[in-house]
Amino acid sequence: MKVAILGFGKEGESAYNYYSQLDNELTIHDNDTQKQLPQDIKSVLGDGAFIDLDKYGYDLLVRSPGVRVDNEALKTTLTTPTAEFMKLCPAPIIGVTGTKGKGTTATLIEHILVETGRRVHLLGNIGSPALDELGNINPTDIVVLEMSSFQLFDLKASPHVAVCLMVTEDHLDWHKSLNEYHISKGNIFKFQKPSDIAIYYSQNAVSQSLAGLSPAETKYSYGKGGDVTVSNHSINAFGHIIADIADVKLPGEHNLQNICAAICGVWPYTQDTKTIKKVIKNFAGLPYHIEHVLDKDGVNYYNDSFSTNPTSAIAAVVSFTEPLVLFLGGYDKQADFSELATTLKGRPIRKIITFAETGQRIAETLASHNIPNVEYISGNDFKLIVKSGISQVVPGDIVLLSPACASWGMFTDYKARGQQFNDIITLV
């Protein structure tokens, strides 16, 4: 069979390894002419790599998540690594999507289930590419799959347990509209069966509306009025008090929401409240997710490099009441920063440094909301950017990298951005 791998990033490489084992004739398409490819592999590289794909005579096209293929007129069969995995996975899948909190929620679900003795595979954006792990999965295992809008975009299958967190605005540089972004998220529910389980956030209208697409007869909600709630200084689930809020290590109200979503996600498999409480008390979060890095001279430094949209930055900002030194900026995904500006209004601001492609636009938005102490720094010298921000700190301040933007342009990914930030603040 003649197979084209569309995009050769992490998922594309995984798809290449998977399909090459099946005795196929493979060709890689990628718009990067400098992409490092396997030796002697056929390729189509450059700006036209994803155009007029029918002309090549392939039997199958395999779309990597970041590659957009508008397939209304496409005659060649199109699939994705996620679709192939879900078709063949022998174990039940708990899928997690949303604009923010997917990684934290998926990891909490995995930790809780592992603590109860289950064999669990954490896959997708937060874990290994799903196809890499397919051969190691048994029917008695559980798969926790973090699912982005790119993976859900053209998916025609839904997981057994589908969890949709808060959905706001994101990836409008890729999706044609906010409505298309919402429709993509909705595919996590759309193809469920009546015997499946749909989970949504009761305080987010989009999440609640998308759950209505599911034929699942069992639906759980978390948030105000839901099956899992935060009230009276405790986390309550299905009539049980799980833990006191004071026991939670994760900072911020948004992480209480993530915990509630995770409890809903594991409830079909375990109702062991003692184990759930133990994991909640011990889980300190993921790297670069409002991660406390340093306490230096009375100033606390937090790294939230995973913040790639305004919703994430808002969640980080409201986690603190102390004066902030805040770093905002990055790749332009056409996001609206007005709500972030409104959130910052009236809060104690020591300094806000904006930078990179979106830096000037963010600074202008903040200025229009009369946010004080904002400075836009052009150029790509990240050390200069960080040092300019922390030069004015005083004991009691919070230094927070929560860029509200993707890292591309200045950095290869959010991890590289986060590591550079850590290196700089440690040495200054």
Summarised one tens digit per residue, pLDDT across range 237-259 is 999 999 999 999 888 889 999 99
What is the average pLDDT across 107-116?
Answer: 97
Residue 218: the pLDDT is: 98
Tokens of 394: 């005083």
Are 163 and 183 contained in the same domain?
A: yes
- Please name the residue ranges forming H helices in 120-177: 130-133, 149-152
- Of 314, 322, 316, 315, the closest CA to residue 303 belongs to 316
Q: Which of 282, 312, 344 is the last residue of a domain?
A: 282
Are 64 and 100 contained in the same domain?
A: no
**Residue 273 three-state SS:** helix
CA-to-CA dists, residue 348 to 317, 370, 397, 413, 421, angstroms: 11, 13, 10, 30, 23
Q: What CATH number did the domain enclosing 349 receive?
A: 3.90.190.20
Residue 23: the pLDDT is: 84
Q: What percent of the chain lies above the pLDDT cut of 70?
A: 100
Are 74 and 91 contained in the same domain?
A: no
Angle, to 10 degrees, between the axis of helix 10-20 and the axis of helix 81-88?
A: 50
Q: What is the pTM of this model?
A: 0.84
Residue 215: the pLDDT is: 98
Q: Which of 282, 302, 323 is the last residue of a domain?
A: 282
For the cut 90, the answer to whether the pLDDT of residue 171 exceeds it is no
Instruction: Categorize the per-residue pLDDT at 291 as very low, low, confident or very high, splitting at 50, 70 and 90.
Output: very high
Residue 96: partners with Cβ closer than 8 Å, 6 or more residues away: 102, 105, 106, 109, 144, 145, 146, 147, 163, 165, 261, 265
Phi then psi dihedrals of residue 238, to 5 deg: 50, 40
Summarised one tens digit per residue, pLDDT across range 8-54 is 999 999 999 999 987 899 999 999 999 999 988 999 999 999 999 99
Are 50 and 90 contained in the same domain?
A: no
Are 332 and 266 contained in the same domain?
A: no
Are 259 and 365 contained in the same domain?
A: no
What is the average pLDDT across 128-149?
Answer: 96
The total number of structural domains in the chain stands at 3
Summarised one tens digit per residue, pLDDT across range 208-238 is 999 999 999 999 999 999 999 999 999 999 9
Are 302 and 171 contained in the same domain?
A: no
d(CA 359, CA 120): 41
Residue 71: the pLDDT is: 67
- Of 103, 73, 94, the closest CA to residue 144 belongs to 94
Residue 174: the pLDDT is: 77
What is the average pLDDT across 183-187?
Answer: 96
- Please name the residue ranges forming H helices in 174-221: 178-190, 205-211
**What range defines the domain where residue 196 resides?**
83-282
- Please name the residue ranges forming H helices in 267-318: 273-282, 310-317
Are 243 and 105 contained in the same domain?
A: yes
Arithmetic mean of pLDDT over the chain? 95
Are 185 and 326 contained in the same domain?
A: no
Q: What CATH number did the domain enclosing 7 receive?
A: 3.40.50.720
Q: What percent of the chain lies above the pLDDT cut of 90?
A: 87
Are 218 and 257 contained in the same domain?
A: yes
For the cut 90, the answer to whether the pLDDT of residue 169 exceeds it is no
Q: Which of 26, 56, 79 is the last residue of a domain?
A: 79
For the cut 90, the answer to whether the pLDDT of residue 272 exceeds it is yes
Q: What CATH number did the domain enclosing 239 receive?
A: 3.40.1190.10
Are 46 and 194 contained in the same domain?
A: no
Summarised one tens digit per residue, pLDDT across range 70-85 is 767 899 999 999 999 9
